[in-house]
Structure 1
């Protein structure tokens, strides 16, 4: 199987991982406890493999296309948070549920967004240039978004003693990936290593989802009543992102391929970036991690629709002459 084929059918890997993890966690509870311990190192490996595919040294080059960059950043960091806040008003007053939705919907994707943009006949080059800026901005702005949009004192929920492992799992792979990028660039033959690391994210994310499911059978069972809410909010978010992409592309006078790229940027979210924070929450907040995984699965099914709808109907190729 090619890497493109692996990524095209990744949703089925993740869905299988969820089902298998729930079965293992229900039949062998001790396996769930082991999974809870293993998820952190596997998640760190996943983040490192993914960050090596993000061209962190291309940040200066990304500023050369000011129009697309401005439209994408305004959409993701100004307008999308407004959409998320509006959707949140329609959900039950459950702090853990709302926190999970805030965590996952406020951060634009920096990994499979590029893959889907390419598969959806978008501009993979601009998608690649956008990702490092998007990654740095979301890490800086997420605390402010949570503070502005939530009535809960998350300073208490995210106690420093609980959050530092999540920060370590996130920042250590990011730093190693930045060093690796410099190392790869020194010799052309080393780029083969980076290309091989590009195969890792899908299987590693499958393992992470399996371990999370196995370790959270109880919370997942308790969260069955919120499953329709998560599905409805995630679906409404995907639909809103399509409408927003069309409006922004028209206002910004973006070419067709850039409009498609924008649609995938607004619709995809960075679920595994915030998963460490959801997993670090204290007892009573486990549903937040379940919500993050649920949303990612809904999103992946939504991307199947995006791949058909965006290039054919939302941003069709203009007729020549």
Structure 2
């Protein structure tokens, strides 16, 4: 998920509230427009490509690849986090989606896509609020983005059970034109702007991009629901299973984070970072990728949107749980507590 994590104040909570309200409002407004004025809803749905390109460009523009320079001194944690995020969590996500939605294949595909891709920005704000290792988390951001884009075709082939089929050539061409070229342009623009402005002004530009992202996501959600409300409403009862599956996934990721943190005796800041990075998912980017690779699949998109909406309150609760665990552990004798988290 995306929000501003560059402020030195308390990042995350305003972005959560704003994005949650925007998405709920976009769903309601899009559904109403699509139902009351079907032709208008269809027109909005037809403009999705422009919104997708804007979202993709903003997401890539805001990534700081310079953080990769910090990776060398943290290889142990990074290996643990990346293996967990890109092997353990996708398998857990596939298992959860299969358990609840095996007879609802399109919704299952949407959830599998949502579950398989770790967040590239949003989790860092919550990591800071939970007292986690923000500097190390910054190193994860570009790694998460690069790996999830590279692995997307493989995951789609492994986990969709032939529900949706995309030829390798078509997927390669789509990823090239929709993501590789925008990626190169956005990163080049990032570097040009960084060199043209002083550090303070450049940070302001990045913060502005972060502020714009939730509004673009909301517009995309509005267009999805406006253009496809009839299909989505036909399956509205089934979305209760989507909510239950997402809740189960979040419980499972928390337990996995606790187990791995204990196994590797991670100090609390790294423990909090691991918990947040395996809980937060990258719904905006995955929504954009999926809409480009799998066009005209509103149920898949709707499952992704629901996962994104439920995630916000979950991360807020998770932050409180981590702080409570830290406070409890602070009262234990050092031998029982394990490595110091200071």
Q: Same fold (TM over 0.5)?
A: yes
Residue of structure 2 equivalent to 1:117: 127
Residue of structure 2 equivalent to 1:261: 273
Deviations 1:165-190 (A, max 9, x none): 56533334322221123223324525
Residue of structure 1 equivalent to 2:106: 96
1:12: Cα distance to partner? Answer: 1.9
Residue of structure 1 equivalent to 2:179: 170
Alignment equivalent of 1:7, drawn from 7, 15, 25: 15
Q: 1:105 to 1:69 in 2, by over 3 A?
A: same
Once residues 54 and 188 of structure 1 are traced to their aligned partners in structure 2, the CA distance between those partners, rounded to angstroms, is: 17
Alignment equivalent of 1:234, drawn from 246, 252, 266: 246
Residues 133 and 273 in structure 2, CA contact (< 8 A), matched pair in contact too: yes
Residues 110 and 304 in structure 2, CA contact (< 8 A), matched pair in contact too: yes
1:70 aligns with 2:94: no
Residue of structure 2 equivalent to 1:318: 330
Once residues 85 and 187 of structure 2 are traced to their aligned partners in structure 1, the CA distance between those partners, rounded to angstroms, is: 24
Residues 100 and 288 in structure 1, CA contact (< 8 A), matched pair in contact too: yes
Alignment equivalent of 2:308, drawn from 275, 296, 303: 296
Once residues 284 and 141 of structure 2 are traced to their aligned partners in structure 1, the CA distance between those partners, rounded to angstroms, is: 15
Range with greater deviation from structure 2 (54-63 or 295-304): 54-63
Measured on the aligned residues, the alpha-carbon RMSD in Å equals: 2.6
1:302: Cα distance to partner? Answer: 1.6
Deviations 1:100-119 (A, max 9, x none): 11111111111212222223
Q: 1:158 to 1:278 in 2, by over 3 A?
A: farther
Deviations 1:72-130 (A, max 9, x none): 11110121122112213312323212211111111111121222222333222222210
1:28 aligns with 2:37: yes
Once residues 73 and 12 of structure 1 are traced to their aligned partners in structure 2, the CA distance between those partners, rounded to angstroms, is: 32
Instruction: State how many pairs are aligned.
Output: 318
Once residues 316 and 201 of structure 1 are traced to their aligned partners in structure 2, the CA distance between those partners, rounded to angstroms, is: 37
Deviations 1:281-313 (A, max 9, x none): 355x43111111111111123223223222223
Residues 219 and 290 in structure 1, CA contact (< 8 A), matched pair in contact too: no
Deviations 1:241-281 (A, max 9, x none): 11111111122222211211111111111112121343343
Given the two structures, how large is their TM-score scaled by the length of structure 2? 0.84
1:249 aligns with 2:258: no
Q: 1:244 to 1:179 in 2, by over 3 A?
A: same
Once residues 114 and 121 of structure 1 are traced to their aligned partners in structure 2, the CA distance between those partners, rounded to angstroms, is: 11
Deviations 1:122-181 (A, max 9, x none): 222222210111111111112222222332164x34675588556533334322221123
Residues 43 and 208 in structure 1, CA contact (< 8 A), matched pair in contact too: yes
Q: 1:164 to 1:291 in 2, by over 3 A?
A: farther
Once residues 271 and 67 of structure 1 are traced to their aligned partners in structure 2, the CA distance between those partners, rounded to angstroms, is: 27
Once residues 113 and 316 of structure 1 are traced to their aligned partners in structure 2, the CA distance between those partners, rounded to angstroms, is: 23
Residues 224 and 298 in structure 2, CA contact (< 8 A), matched pair in contact too: no
Residues 6 and 202 in structure 1, CA contact (< 8 A), matched pair in contact too: no
Residue of structure 2 equivalent to 1:204: 216
Tell me the SS of whatever aligns to 1:65: helix
Once residues 278 and 84 of structure 1 are traced to their aligned partners in structure 2, the CA distance between those partners, rounded to angstroms, is: 17
Q: 1:12 to 1:121 in 2, by over 3 A?
A: farther
Residues 65 and 142 in structure 2, CA contact (< 8 A), matched pair in contact too: yes
Range with greater deviation from structure 2 (233-242 or 192-201): 192-201
Once residues 65 and 315 of structure 2 are traced to their aligned partners in structure 1, the CA distance between those partners, rounded to angstroms, is: 25
Tell me the SS of whatever aligns to 2:330: coil
Alignment equivalent of 1:107, drawn from 109, 112, 117: 117
Once residues 193 and 277 of structure 1 are traced to their aligned partners in structure 2, the CA distance between those partners, rounded to angstroms, is: 25
Residues 105 and 163 in structure 2, CA contact (< 8 A), matched pair in contact too: no
- Gaps of at least 5 residues in structure 2 are 335-342
Residue of structure 2 equivalent to 1:132: 142
